[in-house]
């Protein structure tokens, strides 16, 4: 198998391109669906007849957004390990079937109100299961199909399609949802059917299989532990016990501590079972360890960026520039396209160059560029000229794209042939779980920034335009997350938060001002900018540390394809370490 590193595919050149196009379609569909609901959310809630801002309904809002991400994060390692044992193509193809069936079920939701929203949440979770099968095995299928001198290109195209899919989903959701909210789910069905038939008829299992019993104890402790941590993060950004956020509530603390204990137990279990799902021995490979660490840190820096930019555009910039609140979700997606363009340009290019020169300079340079762009975003005023934001988004996309492709190629090249599914799944789990963590961190930092001045701004602004003091005090004491969700959903915030009854008691002139394009955005711009500083400073720090981790991977390292069986004893593990 050493010849694989230097020669082309000995069984013909055509199959690798079939593998690339099909897996890229699969990853693109999966990541589009991870974000397509963000912009479509107002139309979806109107379609099922549920007000997401009503008391008690934030559960549905959060789980429609995060349920897909949580389940795919939890399952991707286990499903990558199953691919190593039973065939990566077999697991990948099954994922296409589950994903397509779930998309169809979501389209035909027959229920309304909370029952209709619950149907969608369950359907999204099942759709996330299918996506996890696809994501967990796509990189391993490509690594099996391509020689090492072309893997950077292949994995770069695949990875950039996946990352850019999250931004394509924003625009697609904004275009389809106003026509009919069901189209947001229906659009995936024909592509899913075509991809499924194509995968079953054309893809071949060319990887090295490592058949072994399933590590049930490890799987269960890992899944339950990670789910508890992610649920704790999800509810940590919600108000609880009279506080703006729930990080100190017994429920959230119990979820976080319980999840951490189970994950610690999982690590102990994995060192003692003969066939672990999480191959801790892979962390002895320096290129894998630091490549995965930089994957995690870059995703933490990038994951919450999309939410912050959407709120910035929908809640402040677009209304101030004359866009109606109902149109802001679509235009927010369109105005973020320079970010996608940067990814699409830099990803394949850096992948090709990394095949020749190695991953380290491009991945490290990409993270340094991302650090710079987050620093420049800190200098951007709340009411910016669009070309300034577009330029910085494009630069950020170039930087993230320059990092993503070489880094993924470096990680996959470092893995033994029989561990590519497990190792690729481990890397994908760190990336997916970092996105959920990032959303929690970014929202927390935004809320901390808003809480210091938002209440005073709201009360003084509303009372100065005739709103009764009691109503203004009620709105001023709403948790900041309610204000963020109103802006995020593209609702008219004053109408949603103050209420039609209270607005009828003010003069027509004041009512027009309060519900106009500019009042709310100007009212919260100063407190919002304080939150932006906190969030972008954190993102810049995360990317800088990711650059250090990326450089620490060492010189170019490619595993020669020698299958590595699970060590049976501590002596075997020491022998394996010394051989490397």
Closest CA to 73 of 499, 341, 442, 425: 425
List, for residues 531-576, the tens digit of each pLDDT value: 888 888 999 999 999 999 999 987 766 655 544 444 443 333 333 3
Q: In angstroms, how far is CA 187 from the centroid of its own chain?
A: 20
Closest CA to 318 of 304, 332, 305: 332
Closest CA to 543 of 340, 402, 353: 402
Quick one: pLDDT at residue 60? Answer: 87
CATH code of the region 12-214+277-451+527-554: 1.20.1250.20
- Give the whole-angstrom CA distance, residue 359 versus residue 350: 9
**CB of 315 closer than 8 Å to CB of 528:** yes
Closest CA to 61 of 488, 493, 503, 512: 488
Quick one: pLDDT at residue 235? Answer: 85
**CB of 441 closer than 8 Å to CB of 538:** yes
Quick one: pLDDT at residue 556? Answer: 67
Can you list the alpha helix ranges (DSSP code H) found in 414-453?
420-451
Quick one: pLDDT at residue 208? Answer: 67
Sign of the torsion formed by the C-alpha atoms of 383, 379, 386 and 401: negative
Quick one: pLDDT at residue 557? Answer: 61
Q: Give the residue ranges of the chain where pLDDT is below 50.
A: 1-11, 562-580
Tokens of 26: 């699969």
Q: Over the chain, what is the mean pLDDT?
A: 84
Quick one: pLDDT at residue 395? Answer: 96
Q: If DSSP codes are grouped into helix, strand and coil, which group holds residue 295?
A: helix
Sign of the torsion formed by the C-alpha atoms of 571, 574, 578 and 580: positive
- Give the whole-angstrom CA distance, residue 154 versus residue 409: 9
Domains of the chain, by residue range, sit at 12-214+277-451+527-554, 215-276
Residues with Cβ < 8 Å from 471, sequence gap 6 or more? Answer: 462, 498, 499, 502
């Amino acid at each position: 198998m050493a010849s694989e590193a230097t020669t082309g595919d000995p069984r013909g050149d055509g199959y690798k391109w079939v593998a690339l196009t099909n897996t890229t379609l699969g990853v693109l569909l999966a990541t589009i669906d991870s974000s397509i609901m963000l912009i479509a959310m107002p139309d979806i809630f109107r379609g099922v007849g549920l007000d997401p801002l009503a008391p008690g309904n934030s559960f549905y809002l959060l789980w429609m957004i995060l349920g897909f991400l949580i389940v795919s994060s939890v399952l991707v390692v286990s499903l990558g390990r199953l691919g190593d044992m039973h065939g990566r193509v077999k697991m990948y193809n099954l994922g296409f079937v589950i994903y397509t069936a779930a998309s169809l079920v979501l389209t035909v939701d027959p229920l309304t109100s909370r029952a209709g929203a619950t149907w969608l949440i369950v359907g999204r979770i099942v759709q996330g299961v299918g996506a996890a099968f696809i994501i967990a095995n796509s990189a391993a299928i490509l690594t099996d199909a391509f020689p090492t001198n072309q893997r950077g290109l292949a994995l770069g195209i695949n990875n950039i399609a996946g990352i850019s899919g999250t931004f394509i989903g924003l625009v697609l959701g904004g275009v389809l949802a106003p026509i009919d909210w069901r189209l947001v789910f229906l659009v995936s069905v024909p592509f899913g059917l075509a991809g499924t038939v194509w995968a079953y008829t054309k893809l071949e299992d060319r990887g090295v299989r490592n058949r072994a019993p399933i590590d049930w104890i490890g799987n269960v402790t890992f899944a339950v532990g990670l789910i508890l941590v992610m649920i704790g993060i999800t509810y940590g950004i919600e108000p609880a016990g009279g506080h703006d956020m729930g990080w100190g509530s017994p429920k959230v603390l119990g979820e976080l501590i319980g999840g951490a204990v189970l994950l610690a137990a999982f690590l102990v279990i994995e060192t003692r079972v003969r066939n672990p799902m999480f191959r801790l021995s892979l962390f002895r490979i320096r290129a894998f360890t630091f490549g995965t660490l930089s994957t995690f840190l870059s995703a933490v820096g990038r994951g919450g960026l999309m939410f912050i930019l959407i709120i910035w555009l929908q809640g402040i910039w677009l209304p101030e520039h004359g866009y109606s609140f109902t149109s802001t979700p679509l235009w927010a997606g369109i105005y973020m396209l320079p970010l996608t363009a940067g990814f699409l340009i830099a990803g394949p290019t850096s992948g090709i160059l990394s095949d020749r020169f190695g991953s380290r300079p491009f991945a490290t340079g990409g993270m340094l560029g991302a650090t710079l762009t987050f620093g420049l975003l800190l200098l951007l005023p709340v009411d910016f000229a669009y070309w300034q934001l577009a330029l910085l988004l494009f630069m950020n996309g170039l930087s993230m794209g320059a990092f993503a492709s070489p880094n993924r190629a470096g990680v996959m090249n470092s893995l033994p042939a029989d561990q590519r599914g497990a190792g690729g799944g481990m890397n994908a789990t760190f990336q997916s779980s970092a996105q959920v963590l990032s959303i929690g961190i970014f929202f927390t930092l935004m809320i901390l920034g808003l809480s210091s001045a938002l209440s005073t701004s709201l009360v003084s602004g509303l009372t100065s335009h005739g709103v009764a003091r009691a109503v203004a005090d009620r709105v001023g004491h709403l948790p900041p997350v309610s204000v963020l969700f109103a802006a995020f959903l593209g609702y008219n915030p004053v109408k949603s938060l103050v209420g039609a009854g209270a607005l009828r008691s003010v003069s027509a002139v004041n009512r027009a001002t309060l519900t106009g394009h500019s009042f709310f955005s100007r009212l919260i711009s100063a407190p919002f900018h304080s939150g932006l500083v906190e969030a972008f400073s954190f993102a810049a720090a995360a990317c800088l540390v990711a650059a250090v981790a990326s450089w620490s991977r060492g010189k170019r390292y490619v595993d020669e394809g020698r299958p590595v069986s699970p060590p049976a004893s501590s002596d075997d593990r020491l022998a394996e370490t010394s051989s490397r």
